[in-house]
A and B are shown apart, each in its own frame.
Chain A
Amino acid sequence: MLLNVQSAGCKKIILIMLLAYVLLFLNAGGVSAHGVELEFTERSTVEVTARYDSGDPMAGAQVAVFAPGSPAEPWLTGVCDSSGRFFFVPDPAIPGLWEVQVRLAGHGGLIRIELAEGNIEPSRSTGFSGLQILIMAAAVIWGFVGTALFYSRKRA
């Protein structure tokens, strides 16, 4: 209807639109037609990134999300994308400790995400940087070398 009068003057369009709105308003309580209601709410999305400790993404890894209180039955299952990422929106009505399990051929792990009153607490990452790994490995290896030296010392 509105399309037909688009060439007409501005005032006329406004008038017709107003009329249309009034008609719609009057009609609203009656039979519902093909009306679509779109709402939006902001929800926090959880992004889980799964990488091997070598840094390669775990593409195609299977993901199981467990809601708090049901550790046996997954709330959601899915698959990581090619860069090892998986997104999900936890139900804000279930606060508590959400668990996300990622596995690919037995490689995998569990990450716990604290959801308190709709807010997601950032969880502690267990990943170490390359330098940290190097220092830790060197410390342990030095421990072994020290043990070897201790037991191979000449007796006094």
Chain B
Amino acid sequence: MHIPDGIISTSALISGYAATGGLTWLSLRKIKQRYANPRSVIPKAALLTAAFFAASLIHIPIPPVSVHLVLSGLMGVMLGWFAFPAVLVGLLLQAIMFQHGGLTTLGINAIIMGLPALLAFSIFRLRYIFGRDKIVPNAILAFIASFLAVAFGAMIVAVMLVYATPSYLDAAAERNAIIALTLAHIPVAVIEGIFTVMVVLFLLKVQPALLGSEQG
């Protein structure tokens, strides 16, 4: 799901950085407003960033493409407003260490994975309406949030790539490859949905306070 260097146009890269800058600012502002003690969330954020960082190394071969876990949904569900900065840090380290993604495309990739994380966050917050401590609403919302996060991310990638296909490439072949890649993310979305449900149900049982993204 990471867009590497040298694929999309400079104007798209700059827009990506601008949007990422804006969302980071918004996230940090919200963190400052809503958390009495933001430092207390940092251990959770650090560990989930580690999981996010390592998840992209876990490949799931879905012929003809190879996809990897994204965990953007889990990040949003668990971290709330911390999700976007956490995704940004994880992506930076992936780009530096493994050339997964790229430094010029860091902004774009942060949007591709961070925006869905915020979407997952806002979906999972509906549990305050449907029953914060009940198992079924939590499980359903966690699955929907995580599934939609991956689907939304794959959608942004597909639109970006179709839009950015250079004229010298065989457009039809590239479009088919992009469609195959996007469809290959459906199983990933299901796997991540189930994984997030497992994590949420486990935490609901042993440490429900960790799920509350608003406590300080």
Residue of A73, A74, A110, A144 with highest tally of chain B CB at under 10 A: A144
Set A54, A140, A152: member contacting B43, Cβ < 8 A: A152
Given contacts A62-B174, A64-B168, A77-B169, contact A109 B98 (CB under 8 A): no
A-facing residues in B26-60 (Cβ within 8 Å): 39-40, 42-44, 46-47, 49-50, 53-54, 57, 59
- In the assembled complex, the CB of B101 is this many whole angstroms from the nearest CB of chain A, namely 11
Residues of B within 8 A of A94 (CB): none
B129 within 8 A of A: no
Cα-based distance from A136 to B100 in the complex (angstroms): 13
Cα-based distance from A60 to B169 in the complex (angstroms): 12
- Mask of B161-192 contacts with A, CB within 8 angstroms, 1/0: 10000101110011001101100000000000
Residues of A within 8 A of B99 (CB): 109, 126
A147 within 8 A of B: yes
A117 within 8 A of B: no
Chain B: which residue is nearest A106 at the CB level?
B161
B140 within 8 A of A: no
Contact A141 B54 (CB under 8 A): yes
Residues of A within 8 A of B19 (CB): none
Given contacts A60-B173, A109-B5, contact A148 B42 (CB under 8 A): yes
- In the assembled complex, the CB of B49 is this many whole angstroms from the nearest CB of chain A, namely 6
Contact B173 A62 (CB under 8 A): yes
B137 within 8 A of A: no
Given contacts A109-B4, A109-B6, contact A141 B161 (CB under 8 A): no
- For this complex, 12 residue pairs linking A to B, each with C-beta atoms less than 8 Å apart, are A56-B61, A62-B169, A103-B7, A104-B65, A105-B180, A106-B4, A107-B4, A109-B4, A136-B97, A137-B97, A145-B46, A148-B44
| Chain A interfacial positions (CB closer than 8 Å to B) | 52-54, 56, 59-60, 62, 64, 73-74, 77, 79, 101, 103-110, 126, 128, 133, 136-137, 140-141, 144-145, 147-149, 151-152
